[in-house]
Structure formats: structure tokens, C-alpha cells
Structure 1
Amino acid sequence: MLDVFLPQSCVGCGRAGARCCAGCAAEMAAAPARRLPRPSPPGLPDCWSATPYEGAARRAILAYKERGAVALADVLAQVLAFTVLTALAGTGGGWARGPFAVVPVPSARRASRGRGHDPMARLAGLVTRHLAAAGLPAEPWAALRQARRVSDQAGLSSTQRVANLAGSLCVPRGAKSPPAPSVLLLDDIVTTGASLAEAARALRAAGVRVPLAVTVAATRRRS
């Protein structure tokens, strides 16, 4: 409602106009690349991101997730879809010539309630449409659920994050069957890779392959 009644400005640079101007959108999509955390947790799929978690990308992700700026969803989805296409071109991506499922890493239930929406579920639906428009046989599959509560990840080391998340996700019994044998996993940010590795473990336990994970941004690791 605020977007309707108040003058809009770009979340990336502050210029009046669209919520994300063409220049900031181009900045976010300028350098898709494989960005694996070091060290990578066991079971992490090949991991690509559009950009480091800084600048326009950082501001856009925070505005979308934490401040309800859902008007940014399609811009972020286009950035993700472009990164997926770049990753497939760079790796061969033969598995994507057949049907594959697009699965978001779910937010914790309390986080979704606090935000008023599930940001990754919304993005996954839009990414699926963009990939289908590009001729890829993508289908959405909101398969993952929280199996238990986890502690706040802030301040935890990579080893502690893996332990904190172990067994925290599942594909529930009675859930819709996988629409395809392979899964493209989506998240907003990769830091240590623990969330993506746990999501991949739960999906593999349900009998599907997880050859690729894609995020909008990757946190730069500090020694």
C-alpha cells in the first residue's frame, strides 16, 4: 500500500522511480559465477550466485525479505533465472534438458509469520515461469518443511551452523510426489552453505537428485 500512495525510489541507489532501477538490476546480474563457501559443508550441491552480498543486491534482498517490498520479487526472480541459465551454460547442465523441479529453501514458520510472506516460495514460482519461458521444462515443487526448530544462526561458525541445521528439514510423508527426478534448489544468500546442504540432504532422502543450487548473492567470507 505504501508503494501505491508514496513516491517510489530505487532501493539500490535511491533514485526516484522504480523500486529497482535498470542500473541496479544490471549490477545484480552482472557477474553470475560459481561461489562455493570455503570450507564447503558435506553434501553441498554445485552452488552459483548472481553477485556478492553487497551493494544493490544486499539492499534489495533486505528490503524484499525484511521490509515487505514484494514489488522487488520479479526483479530478484529474473536475476536468479539469469544465474540459472548461466550456470547451466557453464556446466553443461544435461540434467536440465529433461523435466526438473524448482524447490525453495523454506523460511522458518515464525519468520514467515513475522514477515507476512514466504519470500523464497514467491521467488521460486516466478523463477519457474521465467525458466519455462526460456524453454526449460521447470516445474515448481514446494516440498520442504521445517522438521524442528533451530537456533539463530548469527554468530555461529560454519561447523556450528551445520550441527544446528542437521535434520531440520524434511519432505513430509504424504507430500506431493516429486514432479521430476532432478531438483534446482533456490535460496536468497549463501554464507556457509549449511542451509543449502541440509535442504539437499532432505531432498535426496526423498529420492531426487540435487545437482545445482542458485542464490541471489554470496557472502564474502572473512578469515
Structure 2
Amino acid sequence: MRGWWQDLTDLVLPGECGGCGRPRAVLCAQCRAVLSAAAVSRVRPVPEPPGLPVVHAAARYADEVRATLLAHKERGALALAAPLGVALAGAVMAGLQGASASVGAGMVSSRWSGAPVLLVPVPSGRRAVRARGHDPARRIALAAAGRLRGSGIPARVLGVLRQKRAVADQSRLNSSQRQGNLAGALAVAPGAARLLCEGPVVLVDDVMTTGASLAEAARAVRAAGPISNAGWTAAVYEGETWESREEQNVGSTRERTGRRPGRPGIAGAGGAGGVVDVVCAAVVAASPESFQINRN
């Protein structure tokens, strides 16, 4: 597991570019351009797993982008979370805009007015987190939330998904095998479901290949079901405590100011009846084939 001094060394004295290996850069200008050059696109794997929400991706999972994500995930280049978070924030905004267009801007504004966008990361397994020393998707999500807030979009990270059971390594599994491997593997943490009613839920991850992880995450969130507003205020305070601890890891202070979302009954604070709503999903990168959404 990484020590705090290793994290500090990465931030102050970056060894090499995470994308191309060029020395003395966290992510060089050329690799930053590759990460953000392509327009954010809707992506869809084939075959598409049942229950997969609409997914937007910032870049293709190849070359420099793939190297950057692997450097962050597997080699602990934690400073890369910032540029990766910028890319993820772009995908989140594209997904929200698409959702607004699909159901009508008036309906969206009346339901979500003043509510924070809730970024729900797909969790890594406990063994993987221990081995890596961090949860990559959650760290990138926190950076993306900071970026969204800086753009005037209220956003929070809710790390409420938990693995109910161990799953096999998916690197050698095909699409159907991944779906079977993950079926029923995730659940919303006890007592956390009501937090998902505070605003539009956007599932986030670093990479999408087959879509099995996002589909299972969507199933778990939807399974939380309609939530009453009883006990809502206490749950919000508890959620702020969870997030405050996480935000300290990436240096953000805004979520530690004591600011709380609106009270129950305010438009956008949970929708009709406090129903959990998975609006869309967003990832930093997706397999190149999934960008061919208009194929016959």
C-alpha cells in the first residue's frame, strides 16, 4: 500500500507523463490534448447488457488515454486524477444535457432545480483497493465533482455502492461471462438509499468495455426503490460526513463548509415521492467499438 509520502512525491515531483512517459510531467500537453480533443460521445457496447443506462464517454480507450488510465489505476499516479476528472466532468455534462433534451427541459428544470448532481462511482473490489491503495473510480469522481462545481453545477459524490460478494477477475471474460460474474454483486449500503433521492443520479466509472459493471450498478441503485422522506435530514448529514472524509483526500474544501442541500419538499430534492432516478452514466473512456453507436 502507498504511503502518504509517495502521494506527496507524485504531486510535487512527477516522474513521467502518464500517457507517453515523457519525463517531468504529470500529463504532457500532447497527452492532455488527446484526452480532451475528441468531442464527448454517447457510447453503446455490442452486445448491450440489459438495464444499461445511456452512457457518454470522453475518449476512446486506446493509446495515450489507455496508458494514462492504467498509470492512475495500477501504478498509483494519483496526480492524474485531476485531468481525468476534467474529462469525466465533460461526459457527465453531456449526459445531463442529453437527458434534459429527451424528457423536456421544463420537466428537468422543475424537478432538479437547486439539486446537486449525484455522482455514484462503480466501486472496485476490496482486494483491488487494498492492492492499489486507492479506489480509482471514486478518486476520479471526486475530481470531476470539483470541476463541475467550479463550472457552477452543484455536484456531490456518493460512494454508496458496495460489493455483496467477491467476483472473479474480469480481464479474460467475455460480455456474457462478465454479466454472469457481476449479477447481483452490488448493493446500496444500508441506510444510504435515501441519499440517492437528493438529485439526479449519474453513475460514473473510469472505463467501460462491455458495460456489465455499469448495468449492475444501475440495477443496484434502482433496486433501492422509492424512498420516503422520513429521516431525510439525518441521512443528508451522514452523507456529508462520508463525503467530507473523501474530499479531504483530493484537497477540496467546499464540501466541508457545512453547506447542506435544501430541505425535503423543495423542488429537485428528490422528485415525486423520493424515487431514485438513474439519469445516465458517464466514463472517462470506452472501447473504440462502442463509439460506433449509429452502426447498422
Same fold by TM-score greater than 0.5 = yes
State yes or no: 1:196 paired with 2:220. no
Among 56, 64, 83, the residue aligned to 1:48: 56
Task: Determine whether 1:108 maps to 2:176.
Answer: no
Partner of 2:251: none
Offset of 1:124 from its aligned partner?
A: 1.5
**Matched residues in 1 for 2:98 and 2:287: separation?**
22
SS of 2:194 mapped into structure 1: coil
Q: Deviations over 1:3-55 (max 9, x none)?
A: 36866321222333321012211211122101110111111010111111111
Identity %: 48
Q: Which residue of the partner structure matches residue 64 of structure 1?
A: 72
- Give, as a single letter, the amino acid of the residue that structure 2 aligns with 1:200: A
Report the Cα offset of residue 85 of structure 1.
2.1
Higher helix share: 2
Post-superposition offset of 1:197: 0.3
Matched residues in 2 for 1:66 and 1:7: separation?
16
* Cα RMSD after superposing both structures: 2.1
* Matching residue of 1:172: 189
In the alignment, what sits opposite 2:24?
17
Stretches of structure 2 lacking an aligned partner (at least 5 in a row): 1-5, 226-275, 291-296
Work out the CA distance in 2 between the residues paired with 1:186 and 1:204.
15
Q: For residue 150 of structure 1, what is the aligned residue in structure 2?
A: 167
Q: TM-score, normalised by structure 2?
A: 0.69
Q: Which has the larger radius of gyration?
A: 2
Per the TM alignment, residue 150 of structure 1 is displaced from its structure 2 partner at its CA by 0.9
Work out the CA distance in 1 between the residues paired with 2:98 and 2:199: 21
2:35 to 28, 43, 46: 28
Distance in 1, matches of 2:98 and 2:191, equals 36
Q: Is 2:90 the partner of 1:73?
A: no
Partners of 1:76 and 1:5 in 2: CA distance: 18
* Pair 1:133 & 2:150 matched: yes
Calculate the TM-score normalised by the size of structure 1.
Answer: 0.91
Greater mean deviation of Cα atoms: 64-73 or 181-190 = 181-190
| Partners of 2:140 and 2:206 within 8 A in 1 | no
**C-alpha contact 2:88 2:284 (8 A) present in aligned 1:** yes
**Unaligned 5+ residue runs, structure 1?**
none
How many residue pairs get aligned? The number is 222
Asked if 1:205 corresponds to 2:223, the answer is yes
135-144 or 92-101, larger mean C-alpha shift: 92-101
Aligned counterparts of 2:20 and 2:186: Cα–Cα separation in 1 = 37
Counterpart position of 2:256: none
Q: Which runs of 4+ in 1 moved over 4 A?
A: 4-7, 93-97
Q: For the residues of structure 2 that align with 1:163 and 1:42, how far apart are their CA atoms?
A: 12
Distance 1:156 1:189 in 2: 16
Q: Which amino acid aligns with 1:162?
A: Q
Measure the CA separation in 1 of the matches of 2:21 and 2:192.
43
